[in-house]
Amino acid sequence: MNYKETTDWMFNQLPMYQLHGASAYKKDLTNTHLLINHLGNPHKKVKCVHVAGTNGKGSTSHMLASVFQEAGYKVGLYTSPHLKDFRERIKINGIDITENFVCDFINENKSFFESNDISFFEMSVGMAFGYFAKEKVDIAVIEVGMGGRLDATNIITPLISVITNIGLDHTQFLGNTIEAIAGEKAGITKPNTPVVIGEYTTKTKPVFLAKAQETNSAIYFASDLISENYPSDLRGDYQVYNKKTALQTIEILNSQQEFKISKDDIKIGLLNVVKNTGLQGRWQQMGDSPKIICDTAHNKHGLEIVLNQIQKEKFEQLHIILGVVNDKDLDEILPLFPKNAVYYFSKPNNPRGLDATILAHKAREHGLTGAVFNSITPAYQNALQAAKDTDLIYIGGSTFVVAEIL
């Protein structure tokens, strides 16, 4: 199979949370262990940083990778989901995994995947570790897919574990309370391995402390860190917390003497995250007159920060292109959106995309009105035609919406 045929097989034949949601979720790591043993345990050949959290884990992972690159290390980076091309998930020093490796890996192991019901995410994790081990990376930053305790990435014993923050998301899998979700995320904490907490609340801190005590792990709360204010090319307000989390993580790794990272490495790395890693969709400006901003924030915690930042912008009229997936709690997120904006309700091109008519109907209950479009592109084109140079266009609600615009 060529690359397109290979990725089509991966996307269509096996469950993939990005496309199918609940049917792709597995409740234990049995298959992951089976797969990784079949592959010869490549994860044991790679030094890792493990990053979980409701929001910010992608940005934090990319910040860490960029800083490591500036320090001269060969850096693997595993993240999800991808925006345009599967290969975005697996990178070394900002360069996507090769098409040949993807094809060879799938073709060589296809019968094993089929006979053992290996999921899309499990094979992606196996591929990442196989690639990083083959290429002999110095360090790999591994982002959790969902949750932590039962995530396929949770087979590793990292140098350090990182949990950015906790919010109510994926409650059908992780629990419907902040404490329950914190417990799932805290499941990446390993015995005698330091853990960094990016943000905490009075409800989540006891959960983290209890897990750290259980595993005899030193615990660090990055939000309490008084640190130098390094500028970054990631400009969302929420990046303040992610920078602190990355800085605390680097400080601990430096103290372990596993790696040597200077202040200059940190400064240059944080200023060049996009250039070094190719990260997209985080408060990304796509135009100037009118100003166009896209952001992948898609749950209450993330959207609160992004929508607050929008209100700090100077504009005459706000235009919002909005699309969501069908398992989104609309009564939780729609009240966050401003009533004085012009809305363009649309459906992401994804099996999980919510019908735009349903979204618009629900939005009207919260005082949000606008036109309905059956896809993102015509919504975007209409917004561009309607907006004046002094207006602001915001595109968001889902990773898939941003992916289509990019």
Sole residue written with tokens 């929008």:
310
Percent of the chain that is helix, strand, coil (3-state, to 5): 45, 15, 40
pLDDT computed for residue 26 by the predictor:
52
Q: Is 267 exposed, middle or buried (0-12, 13-18, 19+ CB in 10 A)?
A: middle
The answer to whether the CB of 251 falls within 8 A of the CB of 226 is no
**What kind and span of H or E run contains 254?**
helix 239-256
The answer to whether the CB of 282 falls within 8 A of the CB of 237 is no
Rounded CA gap, 396 and 304, in Å? Answer: 12
Instruction: State the sign of the Cα–Cα–Cα–Cα dihedral 60, 63, 67, 68.
Output: positive
Radius of gyration of the chain measured on its C-alpha atoms: 21
pLDDT computed for residue 174 by the predictor:
60
What does the H/E/C string look like for 281-315? CCCEEEEECCEEEECCCCCHHHHHHHHHHHHHCCC
Neighbours of 189 (CB within 10 A): 24
pLDDT computed for residue 328 by the predictor:
84
Reading the block at residue 53, the tokens are 């959290």
Between the alpha carbon of residue 135 and those of residues 42, 118, 152, 385, the distances in Å are 11, 24, 21, 48
**pLDDT 10s per residue in the chain (406 long)?**
999 999 999 987 555 544 444 444 556 799 999 999 999 999 999 999 999 999 999 999 999 999 999 999 999 999 999 999 999 999 999 999 999 999 999 999 999 999 998 989 999 999 999 999 999 999 999 999 988 999 999 999 999 999 999 886 544 556 578 999 999 999 999 999 999 999 999 999 999 999 999 999 999 999 998 777 899 999 989 899 999 999 999 999 999 888 999 999 999 999 999 999 999 999 999 999 999 999 999 889 899 999 999 999 999 999 999 999 988 889 999 999 999 999 999 999 888 899 999 999 999 999 999 999 999 999 999 999 999 999 999 999 999 999 999 8
* Cα 253 to the center of its chain, rounded Å: 22
Q: Which amino acid is at 92?
A: I
The answer to whether the CB of 295 falls within 8 A of the CB of 284 is yes
**pTM exceeds 0.85 for this model:** yes
* C-alpha dihedral (11, 15, 21, 27), degrees to nearest 10: -150
Q: Is 108 exposed, middle or buried (0-12, 13-18, 19+ CB in 10 A)?
A: exposed
Reading the block at residue 8, the tokens are 């089509």
Length of the chain as a residue count: 406
